[in-house]
Amino acid sequence: MTAVVTSPASIRPLPPDVAAQIAAGEVIERPAAVVKELVENALDAGATAIDIEVAGAGTGSIVVSDNGRGIPSDQLIVAFERHATSKLTNIDDLERVATLGFRGEALASIAAAADIELRSRSAGDGMGGRVSFEGGVLAKTGPAAQQRGTRVEVTRLFERQPARLKFLRTAASENAAIAASVAALALGYPAVRFTLRLDGRDVLTAPGSGDLRDAARAVFGEAAAPALIALPDGSFTSRGAVTVAGLVSPSHVHRSNRSQLVFFVNGRLIQSRRLAFAVETAYQGMLPVARHPIGVVKIAVPLDEVDVNIHPTKAEVRFRFENEVFAAVERSVRDAVSAGSPVPAFQQSRFASFPEPPPAHGTAGATLWERVGIEPVPHAPVVNAGMAALPPRAETLPPLRVVGQVGATFVVAEGPDGLYLVDQHAAHERVMYEKILRERSPGVEQQPLLDPAMVQLTPRQDALLAGNLDTLAAFGFEVEPFGERIWRVRVMPAVLARQGDPAARFTAFVDDLDREDAGPGRDERVVKSLACHAAVRKGKILVPDEMRELLVLLEACQAPRTCAHGRPTVVHFSAALLEREFLRR
């Protein structure tokens, strides 16, 4: 595979008036920024294959190799001058930027923050050349054996900037950021073959077939990618100037965070809350609360209708006809999703409001709570060291009598003073949360899976998981790497395993880990996430015994009135309120 053979334009310092117009860049704030800048340079150079090797979460080394058009030997040094670029020449070019780079800052900034060696050979060169900078100054330059293309090696990143180093997050989190940005770029450039290795582990191989779905398979995994819906071809504005393409999830595929929805504007990876909002608006009413779509949305607008020069790391853009762009995105996604999502099958009979009989398996009369792993709790809760994280029992619930269930979501109960509505998921989550905290110090109850679950993660999740194996082990998971981003889950915390579909539970759990990093709150978040995924969901019809048992367990909790996330479990309508509402008083 070779890139188009064109000789590179020469690299020149920008005239001062142009340099002055450029949004000042503090481009290199973390290792992922180095990777992104180097990959963008490779893409601008027309590469069709880009290999990225990272060691030590980027502070060890970062090596990016491409087969692009290369840099002529006599321009290797000027490429490192601040504001030296081959991509713009005059002020008008800034109005129509077609390349990813345009400020001529990345190589200079990296050389200021790290040691760097660049080897390159362009079409015109008989032999390649190399240049290296150490401690911010030119160290070596000369000929070098090098294939067509460019190889950049960055070491000792931030060693001279202890403040930067101190602000880096955990290795897992920096690796996750690197994996996320390479994965996103692979979605943007499906014709480019990408490989990413982190500490010698293959984390991403995008084939470069040119088919977006192949790139999506490499990024989102074999399970999610085939379900994604292609956005319809075409333009969506009266002026016809905005086109939208890509792949988005159908309404039954969703995640607990927004990190798996990426946007490109004219080939540039950008972040935009407003675009994410436009997409989510298109799903209105189709996704469960707090769930988010995944996919890639590629927007093309005329170059002079978008300002790319507004953000230091070029991560945001400004549109001249902003509302048209948002409307086009929303339209396109809505058309695709409403045409492409299966109509949710209504699985109950028309007598669905009648409670289901308890399933006839296992010990006679096994209740849902037994099936999901709650043994009835002794009425006086056992206090042990493991409960240190729980507040002393301050609030209690009155004794409640189950009346019924509404909307497969709320348990209706009567208490000494009126009516109580209990959110079944929130209540069960509270119960599970306290159970996990209680069990923690003796050790969370584990359950080996008869059939180990195989789970394929996204590159970002894979990096996060690899860096958090100790936490997972502490919570009762036993997982091992099995292939490229495939993990085999052999043992799970029993509370999760009993919910069935271990692969889906595990993915949902990793999904929750996939947030900004750690710190002291991480274990707490793990407990909350486990509790949430172990809890009965909204939409589950409960038989009276199950409802009664849930209330007994809830009453025994230390803090029965809120779920692990702080939402109420119970809403109380007092007898007085009911009397007033019915104008009896």
Instruction: Give the binding site for ligand ADP (CB under 6 A).
Output: 11, 37, 41-42, 45, 66, 68-71, 79, 84-87, 101-108, 150
Closest approach of Mg ion to the CB of residue 125, in Å:
20
Tallying the residues shown for the chain, one arrives at 585
Q: What is the rounded distance in angstroms from the CA atom of residue 257 to the CA atom of residue 253?
A: 12
Degrees, nearest 5: CA angle 313-15-83: 30
Q: Based on CB atoms, which residue is closest to ligand ADP, 42 or 526?
A: 42
Q: What is the rounded distance in angstroms from the CA atom of residue 348 to the CA atom of residue 356?
A: 9
The amino acid occupying position 66 is: D
Q: Which does 324 bind (CB under 5 to 8 A by kind): ligand ADP, Mg ion, none?
A: none
Q: Based on CB atoms, which residue is closest to Mg ion, 32 or 464?
A: 32
Q: What is the rounded distance in angstroms from the CA atom of residue 500 to the CA atom of residue 253?
A: 18
Write down the number of H helices and E strands in the chain.
17, 24
Q: Which does 256 bind (CB under 5 to 8 A by kind): Mg ion, ligand ADP, none?
A: none
Q: Tokens at residue 349, please? A: 């009979």
Closest approach of Mg ion to the CB of residue 148, in Å:
19
Q: By beta-carbon distance, which residue lies closest to ligand ADP?
A: 101
Q: Based on CB atoms, which residue is closest to ligand ADP, 78 or 212?
A: 78
Closest approach of ligand ADP to the CB of residue 87, in Å:
5
Q: Based on CB atoms, which residue is closest to ligand ADP, 150 or 405?
A: 150
Closest approach of ligand ADP to the CB of residue 23, in Å:
12
Exposed (0-12), middle (13-18) or buried (19+): which is 521, by Cβ within 10 Å?
exposed
Closest approach of ligand ADP to the CB of residue 262, in Å:
21
Q: What is the rounded distance in angstroms from the CA atom of residue 537 to the CA atom of residue 508?
A: 13
Q: Which does 102 bind (CB under 5 to 8 A by kind): ligand ADP, Mg ion, none?
A: ligand ADP
Closest approach of Mg ion to the CB of residue 41, in Å:
4
Q: Based on CB atoms, which residue is closest to Mg ion, 41 or 458?
A: 41
Q: What is the rounded distance in angstroms from the CA atom of residue 123 to the CA atom of residue 127?
A: 10
What value does the CA radius of gyration of the chain take, rounded to a whole number of Å?
28
The count of other CB atoms within 10 Å of the CB of residue 258 is 15
Q: Based on CB atoms, which residue is closest to ligand ADP, 30 or 69?
A: 69
Q: Which does 438 bind (CB under 5 to 8 A by kind): ligand ADP, Mg ion, none?
A: none
Closest approach of ligand ADP to the CB of residue 105, in Å:
6
Q: Based on CB atoms, which residue is closest to Mg ion, 79 or 518?
A: 79
Q: Which does 71 bind (CB under 5 to 8 A by kind): ligand ADP, Mg ion, none?
A: ligand ADP
**Residues in CB range of 164: below 8 A, 6 or more apart:** 29, 113, 158
Q: Which does 86 bind (CB under 5 to 8 A by kind): ligand ADP, Mg ion, none?
A: ligand ADP
At 387, is the secondary structure helix, strand, or coil?
helix
Q: Which does 68 bind (CB under 5 to 8 A by kind): ligand ADP, Mg ion, none?
A: ligand ADP
Q: Based on CB atoms, which residue is closest to Mg ion, 101 or 293?
A: 101
Torsion sign across C-alpha atoms 180, 181, 187, 193: negative
The amino acid occupying position 326 is: F
Q: Based on CB atoms, which residue is closest to ligand ADP, 41 or 48?
A: 41
Q: Based on CB atoms, which residue is closest to ligand ADP, 81 or 370?
A: 81
Closest approach of Mg ion to the CB of residue 6, in Å:
18
Closest alpha carbon to 532 in 376, 423, 413: 423
Could you list the residues that contact Mg ion (CB under 5 A)? 41, 101, 106
Q: Which does 494 bind (CB under 5 to 8 A by kind): Mg ion, ligand ADP, none?
A: none
Q: Based on CB atoms, which residue is closest to ligand ADP, 110 or 397?
A: 110
Closest alpha carbon to 373 in 422, 454, 439: 439
Q: Which does 107 bind (CB under 5 to 8 A by kind): Mg ion, ligand ADP, none?
A: ligand ADP
Closest approach of ligand ADP to the CB of residue 554, in Å:
58
Q: Which does 103 bind (CB under 5 to 8 A by kind): ligand ADP, Mg ion, none?
A: ligand ADP
Strands 243-248 and 229-230: antiparallel
Q: By beta-carbon distance, which residue lies closest to Mg ion?
A: 101
DSSP state at residue 403: E
Query: Is 204 within 8 Å of 219 (Cβ atoms)?
Result: yes
Identify the helix (H) or strand (E) that includes residue 229.
Answer: strand 229-230
Q: Which does 105 bind (CB under 5 to 8 A by kind): ligand ADP, Mg ion, none?
A: ligand ADP
Q: Tokens at residue 572, please? A: 């109380």
Q: Which does 85 bind (CB under 5 to 8 A by kind): Mg ion, ligand ADP, none?
A: ligand ADP
Q: Based on CB atoms, which residue is closest to ligand ADP, 79 or 527?
A: 79
Task: Provide φ and ψ at 39, rounded to 5°.
Answer: -70, -40
Q: Tokens at residue 396, please? A: 């209690």
Closest approach of ligand ADP to the CB of residue 309, in Å:
11
Query: Is 230 within 8 Å of 244 (Cβ atoms)?
Result: no
Closest approach of Mg ion to the CB of residue 268, in Å:
12
Q: Tokens at residue 550, please? A: 């849930």
Closest approach of Mg ion to the CB of residue 37, in Å:
5
Query: Is 111 within 8 Å of 80 (Cβ atoms)?
Result: yes
Residue 486: which region, alpha, beta or left (left: phi > 0; alpha: psi -120 to 50)? beta
